[in-house]
Amino acid sequence: MKQIIVGNWKMNGLTADAAKAADDIGAAMGQDVSGAQVVICPPFTQLALVGPKLREHGIALGAQDCHQDPCGAHTGDIAASMLRDLGVEYVILGHSERRRDHNELDETVREKAVAAAAAGLTPIVCVGESEDQRSAGDSQEAVGWQIQGSLPQGFTGIVAYEPVWAIGSGTAASQQDIADMTQFIREELVRQFGDAGKTIKILYGGSVNGRNAADILPLANVGGALVGNASLAAETFMPIVRAAVDI
């Protein structure tokens, strides 16, 4: 089964930057990396620009968030149906930066996941513990509660484990930490969704780069990666994609 490598450009990329990154990543794609599903999630302002460029090379278009309502008086927000209208296939939900900066609750993330699925998008729901929770020995409890609260009944999307303390730090969690937590997440998914929980993909995110991807991606319950800064340029992103293909 193909690994999924998702590039999250976050709040980066004016038109020229986004066009160059999409062109460069597209040009680097070929048959040698066709064994991985690649998704790029640019800022909302660049979706229409980079979407056609990515699709030419078999790269799926993703978004970084959506609103839980299908339409309405929500200034500054964007509905899942609007994303689908632009050719978006995936959407990241509940990222720790959204939870922190916008006070998003598990309930909100769950409602967004429902809205995304209803619009035909695949939700990528993020879970992960903070440094304080980790230091207190509460990592599994914190992640377990997020899984229970953030995933709706009948969830068929993707779960991304992103330890908050590793995001943007330049240092990923250890292989043992990732193996232990993704095993716990798998058990929680099976407990919550039965046999369907066995097939939900689990991605790892948190300072993934071309140096550590080959060690992280082969772990038993890791089905791909959610990549931040390293996805902004082909020279740092493509080694991760190739590591996924080589598994």
pLDDT tens for the chain, 247 residues long, are: 899 999 999 999 999 999 999 999 999 998 778 889 999 999 999 999 999 999 999 999 999 999 999 999 999 999 999 999 999 999 999 999 999 999 999 999 999 999 999 999 999 999 999 889 988 999 999 999 999 999 999 999 999 999 988 877 777 789 999 999 999 999 999 999 999 999 999 999 998 999 999 999 999 999 999 999 999 999 999 999 999 998 8
Both tokens of 54, joined, read 């990515």
- The CATH homologous superfamily for domain 3-214+223-245 is Aldolase class I (3.20.20.70)
* Residue 103 known to bind ligand: no
* Residue 221 known to bind ligand: no
Does the active-site annotation cover 104? Answer: no
Could you give phi then psi for residue 219, rounded to 5 degrees?
-60, 145
Q: What is the pLDDT of residue 171?
A: 72
Q: What is the pLDDT of residue 1?
A: 80
Q: What type of residue sits at position 224?
A: G
**So where are the chain's domains?**
3-214+223-245
Q: What is the pLDDT of residue 34?
A: 82
Consecutive H or E run containing 27 = helix 15-28
Location of structure tokens 């699925």: 117
Q: What is the pLDDT of residue 181?
A: 96
Local structure of 177: helix, strand or coil: helix
Catalytic choice (97, 104, 129, 162): 162
Catalytic choice (67, 95, 97, 188): 95
Residues 6+ apart with CB under 8 A from 153: none
Both tokens of 120, joined, read 């035909």
Does the active-site annotation cover 67? Answer: no
Q: How is residue 160 annotated by DSSP?
A: E
* Residue 8 known to bind ligand: yes
Q: How is residue 71 annotated by DSSP?
A: S
